[in-house]
Amino acid sequence: MFKKILIANRGEIAVRIIRACKEMGIETVAVYSDVDRKALHVQLADEAYLLGPAPPLESYLNIDKIIETTKKSKAEAVHPGYGFLAENHLFSKRCEDEKITFIGPNSKALRLVGDKLESRNTMTQAKIPIIPGMKMKGGSLKDFEEQAEKIGYPVMLKASAGGGGKGMRIIRSKEDLKFSIEAGMREAKSAFGDESVYLEKCIERPRHIEFQVLADNYGNAAHLFERECSIQRRHQKIIEETPSTALTPELRTEMGKTAVKVIQTANYNNAGTVEFLLDEKGKYYFLEVNARIQVEHPITEMVTGVDLVKSQIKIANCEKLPFKQEELSQRGHAIECRIYAEDPENDFLPSFGKVLFVKEPSGPGIRNDSGLYSGIEVTMHYDPILAKLICWGENRESARNRAIQALSDYAILGIKTQVNYLKDLLSLQEFVDGNTRTDFIPKNMADWKEKNSREKLKEIALIAGAIQSMDKTSVKGKMVKATGFDPWISLGRWEIGA
């Protein structure tokens, strides 16, 4: 087994990976940018090295610097987490060349699945169902216009190197094409360092269902069932659950088999997620392979009992998959709520500043993957995800109720978060009914506002605030207006030790 692993990431996922390493007796190396010196992952790791200034290209995306740090720290392997360099085949290749183990797929498979267009073409040949769309990246605006016309509006703009919704936009008419493509290209460039974009048919009102797959270095692969990730804002998931309410056992088996076939077709190893869209008629299409540990991986861990991060490390260490497909099953139900520093009343604009105080929920069936602590500074440089609350229950309803209760117990003071928004979303009848499609938020949560029926709670807040102010004033030694009983006045003259 590796003696030391460098974690090329930040935030909650770096914390998650560091914990897995510590449990396995592996030493950990954290890297950080200027603004992350006090981040939790830096606090927890055995060693920590500065990469550079805050902008990702100068720190968490700086391949040379990360390789140099890996060598300097004598780490034998690098775990890239999600985002940043996780799906960068150049980084994975560079690790291979430098004899550093990249904890993820081999660079060839990574390059194939990372190129959304090339993987679409490969999967078509393997008879995997795909969404109709462009076979190569767009060049001129005219080229895009023609292709969009051919596919038929609405079309979906996607970054060829993409993932996580960055650079992705729905385009409904020719007029929107120019601005969307330019903005999408800029976003793709800044997020992935590659500005290639393409168009595909926009499937309306789909469900977003993905299958977790693990594949070892010897050709063995198994899927760990699905995750339903249809509830999204700005093409980014905010609530995920497993099992999906939409899959019958037959469809689950079929999609699972397809997912494993996708992974094997790509000669892919380590952990990967095969994403599908499921349309209203129950027809499914291969979307892409997410070649990384995913944000929502904990819900799979909760229902299968398999630790995905440790599995990644063991597979990278050339160990065989310790189970066969038929040995895996789903137990109970798990829901993940992503907690973001953003304002749901104001178009989900990021909110940042100092987190003055945090109290995280705990209790049976509650897992909280977080990079938060009281006093942390949330900066504008990175994705605003703060934490993930994962709740397990013996069935969907108990997981849902547990999540609502745990969210009510989650105090993050000082910055805006969407905790109350998530709580209201989970309470909707549409959610209870499992009627979750990608248009869930515009359909059910548009114009959401904080409830105004909180008079009783307001009163409590005012009372607490006033008493605290009063106590502080008297502690400071200031004269408190003698409005009532005062023991010091009524005590009269006295002496100590008399």
Tell me the C-alpha to C-alpha distance, in Å, between residue 330 and each of 97, 273, 394, 489: 39, 17, 11, 70
200 binds other proteins (CB under 8 A): no
CB of 197 to other proteins, least distance (A): 14
CB of 167 to other proteins, least distance (A): 10
409 binds other proteins (CB under 8 A): yes
Binders of other proteins in range 258-317 (CB under 8 A): none
Give the number of residues in contact with other proteins, rule: CB under 8 A.
59
In the bound state with other proteins, the residue whose beta carbon lies nearer, of 160 and 304, is 160
In the bound state with other proteins, the residue whose beta carbon lies nearer, of 121 and 473, is 473
Active site residue 292: yes
CB of 382 to other proteins, least distance (A): 6
359 binds other proteins (CB under 8 A): yes
Q: Which of 120, 227, 292, 437 is catalytic?
A: 292
Which one of 141, 318, 411, 432 is in contact with other proteins (CB under 8 A)? 411
Tell me the C-alpha to C-alpha distance, in Å, between residue 431 and each of 4, 294, 334, 339, 495: 44, 23, 14, 18, 69
Which one of 114, 298, 384, 393 is in contact with other proteins (CB under 8 A)? 384
432 binds other proteins (CB under 8 A): no
In the bound state with other proteins, the residue whose beta carbon lies nearer, of 225 and 382, is 382
Q: State how far the Cα of 188 lies from the Cα of 170, in Å rounded to an integer.
A: 15
Which one of 23, 254, 394, 459 is in contact with other proteins (CB under 8 A)? 459
CB of 30 to other proteins, least distance (A): 21
Which one of 191, 316, 334, 337 is in contact with other proteins (CB under 8 A)? 191
CB of 453 to other proteins, least distance (A): 11
Long-range CB contacts for residues 252-258, cutoff 8 Å, separation at least 24 = 252/225, 252/226, 255/209, 255/211, 255/226, 255/284, 256/211, 256/223, 256/225, 256/226, 258/128, 258/129, 258/284, 258/286
Binding part of the chain for other proteins, among 290-298, 306-314, 395-403, 414-422 by CB under 8 A, reads: 414-422
382 binds other proteins (CB under 8 A): yes
121 binds other proteins (CB under 8 A): no
CB of 357 to other proteins, least distance (A): 4
Binding part of the chain for other proteins, among 66-74, 120-128, 271-279, 407-415 by CB under 8 A, reads: 407-415
Which one of 3, 234, 257, 443 is in contact with other proteins (CB under 8 A)? 234
481 binds other proteins (CB under 8 A): yes
Which one of 25, 139, 442, 484 is in contact with other proteins (CB under 8 A)? 484
In the bound state with other proteins, the residue whose beta carbon lies nearer, of 187 and 240, is 187
Q: State how far the Cα of 295 lies from the Cα of 338, in Å rounded to an integer.
A: 9
Which residues neighbour 380 within 8 Å (Cβ) at sequence distance 6 or greater?
350, 352
Binders of other proteins in range 361-380 (CB under 8 A): 374, 380
468 binds other proteins (CB under 8 A): yes
Tell me the C-alpha to C-alpha distance, in Å, between residue 470 and each of 220, 462, 473: 67, 12, 5
In the bound state with other proteins, the residue whose beta carbon lies nearer, of 247 and 419, is 419
The binding site for other proteins (CB under 8 A) comprises 56, 166, 179, 183, 186-187, 190-191, 234, 346-347, 349-352, 354, 356-357, 359, 374, 380-384, 407-414, 419-420, 423, 450, 454, 457-471, 473, 480-481, 483-485
- List the catalytic residues: 292
